[in-house]
């Protein structure tokens, strides 16, 4: 039987448990999702027809607080993926010590084939279907693949209509004017930027001598590439879903972004030397010092891990590296900064947005970014120390830290040692 994304995710849990004393009750609780809800969303299309879309919401674990996680719109979304992503969110929240558990949602749809009206009706239908699951004290969605601030605004409004009063804290990643937080759009990429800059001396990186390639040039990668370039790092590769662009002499991501916004593609963007167009697969094994997979899961796999030339991998995407590929990278001395740390800036600023909504008091963008930096840098430091102390890779170290925090919370309610007569 082929392994699923969720079964691969659970291997991380079992690996971390080898390096820390964990009560068996904790492993039982974390081995299965707490609650997964499935629905069919019936949406009236512009041509008058009725179309049904499969949808899911998983609340994986709420031991440390309300579940938190995005909603993605993608034609290949399925329950296994949603559960795996909710599992990762549980550990991501614990890694950066947020008072949240993990959740995730998805709809099997190609949003590019929907009109704006159809997209709004689908989004509101999602909230109606899962209204009993959601809530600012229960389960708090956010944007994910192919969802954005406007969609979150529709969803928050639909939930507020259902409960009969404004409830902005039910969803994060909203438009600023509807209760969103400044700095949320850039948070995922900026969090990865802060981590790389914080660890650069530990890694022995010199910005002007460090070449960085971004597989995927969406929101997360853009907001990591821009400040890295401004700090002197050399950006040598970027890609979109169609193709990749590589130039050993580097490129200005500001100009690449402007080109992409104008043409819809990175191909043909100006670079500093002779650009080479290639596939996403080729970009993964291109010549660089830091590789940033910022697209979808399962990009660094068993077949290409041995060909990765980068010394460091900064995972802005969720689950871009398979467990076996992880081992291959570690054996070759490649340091992977895991997704549950590298892209945790998004959920951290989502927490800030939730807290601001609850308080009715909002912060400036500089304050948000400084709070993010102060939140995320100490956790990167702790994970690096665990890596060194236990002689493990950074991913295992991150799971050890998260598992310890979740396990402590589970034990605080009593385990078999307490209840055994």
Number of neighbours of residue 250 by Cβ within 10 angstroms: 17
Report the SS3 class of residue 33.
coil
Number of neighbours of residue 408 by Cβ within 10 angstroms: 14
**DSSP class of residue 113?**
G
Catalytic residues: 104
CB 134 within 8 A of CB 55: no
**DSSP class of residue 275?**
-
What whole-number distance in Å separates Cα of residue 73 and Cα of residue 154? 15
Which residues on adjacent β-strands are paired with residue 107? 55, 73
Alpha-carbon dihedral of residues 89, 144, 191, 374, nearest 10 degrees?
Answer: -60
CB 255 within 8 A of CB 249: no
Query: Six-digit token pair at 162?
Result: 């259902």
Report the SS3 class of residue 91.
helix
The DSSP H or E segment spanning 104 is strand 101-108
Burial code (b: 16+ CB inside 10 Å, e: under 16) for 152-169 equals bbbbbbbbbeeeeeebbb
Region of residue 219 (left: phi > 0; alpha: psi -120 to 50; beta: else) = alpha
List of E strands, 276-405: 276-278, 290-293, 312-314, 335-337
What whole-number distance in Å separates Cα of residue 131 and Cα of residue 118? 20
| 191 exposure class (CB count in 10 Å sphere: 0-12, 13-18, 19+) | buried
Contacts of 34 (CB under 8 A, 6+ apart): 59, 60, 61, 62
* Pairing mode of beta strands 234-239, 244-251: antiparallel
The DSSP H or E segment spanning 244 is strand 244-251
What whole-number distance in Å separates Cα of residue 159 and Cα of residue 166? 8
């Amino acid at each position: 039987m082929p392994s699923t994304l969720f079964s691969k995710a659970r291997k991380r849990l079992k690996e971390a448990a080898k390096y820390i004393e964990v009560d068996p009750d904790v492993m039982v609780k974390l081995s299965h999702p707490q609650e997964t809800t499935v629905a069919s969303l019936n949406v009236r299309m512009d041509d008058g027809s009725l179309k049904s879309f499969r949808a899911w919401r998983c609340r994986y674990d709420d031991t440390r607080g309300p579940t938190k996680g995005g909603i993605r719109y993608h034609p290949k979304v399925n329950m296994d993926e949603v559960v795996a992503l909710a599992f990762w969110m549980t550990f991501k929240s614990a890694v950066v010590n947020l008072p949240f558990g993990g959740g995730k949602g998805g709809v099997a749809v190609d949003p590019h084939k929907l009109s704006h009206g159809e997209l709004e009706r689908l989004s509101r239908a999602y909230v109606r279907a899962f209204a009993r699951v959601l809530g600012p004290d229960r389960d708090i969605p956010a944007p994910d693949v192919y969802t954005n601030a406007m969609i979150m605004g529709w969803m928050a409004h639909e939930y507020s209509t259902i409960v009969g009063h404004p409830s902005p804290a039910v969803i994060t990643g909203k438009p600023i004017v509807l209760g969103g937080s400044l700095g949320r759009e850039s948070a995922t990429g900026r969090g990865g930027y802060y981590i790389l800059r914080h660890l650069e001396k530990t890694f022995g990186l010199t910005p002007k001598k460090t070449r960085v390639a971004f597989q995927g040039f969406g929101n997360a990668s853009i907001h990591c590439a821009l400040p890295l370039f401004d700090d002197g790092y050399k950006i040598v590769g970027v890609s979109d879903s169609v193709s990749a662009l590589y130039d050993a002499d580097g490129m200005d991501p500001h100009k690449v972004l402007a080109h992409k916004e104008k043409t819809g593609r990175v191909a043909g963007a100006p670079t500093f030397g002779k650009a080479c167009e290639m596939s996403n697969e080729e970009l993964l094994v291109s010549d660089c010092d830091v590789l940033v997979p910022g697209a979808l899961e399962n990009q660094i796999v068993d077949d290409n891990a041995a060909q990765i030339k980068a010394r460091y991998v900064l995972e802005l995407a969720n689950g871009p590296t398979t467990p076996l590929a992880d081992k291959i990278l570690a054996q070759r001395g490649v340091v992977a900064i895991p997704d549950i740390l590298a892209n945790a800036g998004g959920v951290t600023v989502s927490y800030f947005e939730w807290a601001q909504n609850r308080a009715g008091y909002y912060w400036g963008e500089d304050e948000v970014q400084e709070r993010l930096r102060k939140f995320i840098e100490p956790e990167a430091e702790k994970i690096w120390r665990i890596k060194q102390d236990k002689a493990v890779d950074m991913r295992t170290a991150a799971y050890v830290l998260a598992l310890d925090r979740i396990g402590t919370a589970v034990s605080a309610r009593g385990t078999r040692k307490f209840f055994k007569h």
